[in-house]
Structures are given as C-alpha cells and as structure tokens.
Structure 1
C-alpha cells in the first residue's frame, strides 16, 4: 500500500501510512510535504532549474482522507522560478507552500561535512513508538547514529521510504528528502512525548545541491523557549555528504488529560 492513491489530476486519497503520532485521524506532515514536492515537480518543469527551497505552512491538521493539491507559477524567470502549492480537503485549505527553483551553473563548491555511515538495523528501534506506533513511523526504515526514539535530546538518524509515496510511481530524491525532513522535532524531542505536544506549524527545506539515493540522514536538535514556542534545526545529508538544512517552528504545550 502506498501513502497516496491518485484519484485524478491533483486529487489523492491518503492511506494509513500517512498517519501522524498525535492523532490517528491526522496525517504526519512528512507525507504531505512530499506530496506537495511531487505535484510541484509536475508544474512548469524546465531543464536546468533545480528545486532549492521549499517552505510549507500548516494552517490546520490534515486528515487521513481525500486531498486536493493545486499548484501555480508565481514567477517564471530565466534563472529562478517561484512556485506555489495549496493542499485542501473538504473545501478547506490546510497547507500552503512556496518553492524556489534556481538554474544550474558551474560553481566552485566549498568543503562540506561527510555523512556518517548508514548503521545496521537494530531490533530495539523496530519496537519503539516511532516504528510501531503509527502509520508514518512504520512506513520508513529508521537507523539511528546517535540518540534514539526512546530518549530526549539531539539525534542523528538515517531514514528511507519502504512504501511508495504515490501508488505506481517511483519517488524522486527531493520527495525522499521531503518525506523525512519533517521528522526533526520527533527524533530530537526536548520534552517527553507522553507529557507534551510539540507540533510544527511550518517546515523550511533548503538544498544547496540535488540529493541522490534513497537514504537521507538528519542531524537534528530542538530547543524550547520559555513561552510555549520551540525550534528544531536539522542538517540534511545523503550518502555523498551534506545537502542542506531544515527548520521547524514548534507550538509547545502540556498534554491535556
């Protein structure tokens, strides 16, 4: 079973593989962000332009239901291109996104950090809430380098999709980044999952080169402020090294009941 089944142009049906950890009726934003990237890749593509930045704002929880994704070209320049996307369900807009594509050109690259090796799978991670407690967690293969799903604090982890994003279609490398990059606050939680809610209201992904391969690594750290807000910062890697960064602004509150 894929995360989504295409019903018609711009219309998708979400499966249980999109379920998030806070409410089984709501989707994790990783699949939603990847679906946005999937639709943007089909919008006014032009050879030589690569997606370099994707910003997703979350207006309300996205239900595990039928979605409509609409995209548009905001600015179509020779060297840069700005796109927009909107995700709706039941006639209500739930997510809005913008993306920048930048032209490819030869530049002298600066040194970047190398990625840690992908570690072997550990059975304890398969038994954690992350990989057994909800649909999205079970749809990825998680490999922790430092930290774990059972403890708070910074963490570094590899992840890869084990199910298709859209039925019958192979996800591209940007979609693989997008589906994983929204997990920074989950793997590096600064507060207990049982005691607090720390939900992101946005996600920004910035890439300075095109990712490669099916494995993506995230080195994440979360800080909580004194007034109900937090921030997660993640460095992103593929098997060839550093590729960019992701940030999430968090709404933080004690769990009710």
Structure 2
C-alpha cells in the first residue's frame, strides 16, 4: 500500500500509511513533503527543464489536516534560464495545508572545486536498530525503518528508510523519496517525552549541495528548546556516500495539560 493514490491530475487520496504521530486521525506531514517535491520535479520535466536540479526545499505547514483527499497546484514564481523558483501547494479538508517553495538551478561540472562537506557519520550498518513506535503512534511512523544512536536527549544520529512507495504506478525520484522522510528529524532524537511535551514544527527548510541517492537518509540532529516556548531542530543530511545538505525546523514547545 502506498502513502498516496492519485485520483486525477491534481488530487490524491492518502492511505492509512499516512496516519499522524501527534494525532492518528490527521496526516503526518512527511509524506506530503515528498508528494510536493515530486510534483515540482514532474512539472520541471513536463516543461522540458531537465537541466535544472532542486537546491532548496522550503515548506510551511498551515495547520493539521485530516486523512482526506488532497488537492494540489504547482506554479513557477520566478522563471529563468539558470535559476527558477517554483511553488507547490496542497489543500485538504477545505483549507490550505502545506506550501513548498523550491529553488531550482542549472547544474555544472564543479568536481575540481568540491570541498567543505561535513564529516561522515557512522553508517546505518553501524547504528543499532530502534523501534520508533515506542515513542510515537500512527501509520507513518509504523511504516519506517529506523536505526538510532542517541547520544543524549535531543542529540543523536538517526538513519531512516521506508519500502512504502510514495505513489502507486508512478516513478518517483530519489530526491522526492528523501523529501518524504525529512520531517522525521524532529521526532527521532527527541529532547522530551512527546507524551508530556508537545513540540510540533511549523516549517522545514532543506538546503542541498548535491542530490541524495534516495535510500537510507541519515540525520545528524540537534534539538534545542528555548526558554520562551520556541525551539529548533537542526540536522546535517547524509546518505551512505556522505553529507548532501542540511535542514532546520522551527518548533512550538508546550507542556501537555
């Protein structure tokens, strides 16, 4: 069973695999992130812009949304020969749910200049398996395989992958598969017990210095809670070949009643 089934050119039906972690009757945002990245890349191909690659994915989450039909749209905000800004959005339950703004840039051979990537972390084969359902409910969390080395609360190295397809009968790029896992950064190296403290993220921004391979996603993560109710999750992104980018998520931190 995939995360989504396409019902027409612009609408998608979530399956039980998308069930949320904070509320199992709502969608986990991670698969939506993957779906929007896929739609940006599909639009790029349809427009014949094979020369462009995504270098930034910036998502804003407008609020929780139910396990019901998603309506989507894609538009080019800033066309260009070498750089484009593309926006993709979803609506669900009569409300806008997630907006993605993606920068795309033309590639080039800079192999002689490549340098400065963060050091590699222990690979998935060197990190113990961990069951994320010990901290989180929901269909999405149950669908992922996780390996975790938690150094201390809020600090750890996590590897995650899934064998669940994003869509039935539709080719999905390594980038879109990876984008569909990025949001787990905030939940796999928790600083506080999510049964006692809520710390949902409002957004996610990922910056890439190369394209990921689409298999295991590594997250070298730090979670910070401030004294005024805000927090930040930051992670260096890895695949088995090494670092390929970084992400940040803005958090709202609240004690449970």
- TM-score, normalised via structure 1 length: 0.92
What is the RMSD of the two structures over their aligned residues, measured on CA atoms? 1.8
How far apart, CA to CA, are the structure 2 residues paired with 1:80 and 1:142? Answer: 35
Q: Which runs of 5+ in 2 are unaligned?
A: none
How far apart, CA to CA, are the structure 2 residues paired with 1:253 and 1:224? Answer: 10
Query: Residue 138 of structure 2 corresponds to which residue in structure 1?
Result: 134
Alpha-carbon contact 2:58-2:102 (below 8 Å) kept: yes
| Equivalences for residues 1-257 of structure 1 within 5 A | 1-45=1-45, 46-107=49-110, 108-112=113-117, 113-119=119-125, 125=131, 128-130=134-136, 133-144=137-148, 146-147=149-150, 152-256=153-257
Deviations 1:96-120 (A, max 9, x none): 1200001101221004222422127
How far apart, CA to CA, are the structure 1 residues paired with 2:174 and 2:56? Answer: 14
Secondary structure class of the residue paired with 1:39: helix
Deviations 1:169-220 (A, max 9, x none): 3432111221221111111222221111100000001111011141111111
- TM-score, normalised via structure 2 length: 0.92
Shift of 1:66: 0.5
Q: Which runs of 5+ in 1 are unaligned?
A: none
How far apart, CA to CA, are the structure 1 residues paired with 2:89 and 2:202? Answer: 15
Q: Name the CA shift for 1:33/1:66 in 2 (closer, same or farther; >3 Å).
A: same
Deviations 1:158-177 (A, max 9, x none): 11122111112343211122
How far apart, CA to CA, are the structure 2 residues paired with 1:232 and 1:214? Answer: 22
Deviations 1:6-47 (A, max 9, x none): 000110000111112110111111111001101111113312
Alpha-carbon contact 2:129-2:147 (below 8 Å) kept: no
Alpha-carbon contact 2:121-2:220 (below 8 Å) kept: no
Aligned residue pairs total: 251
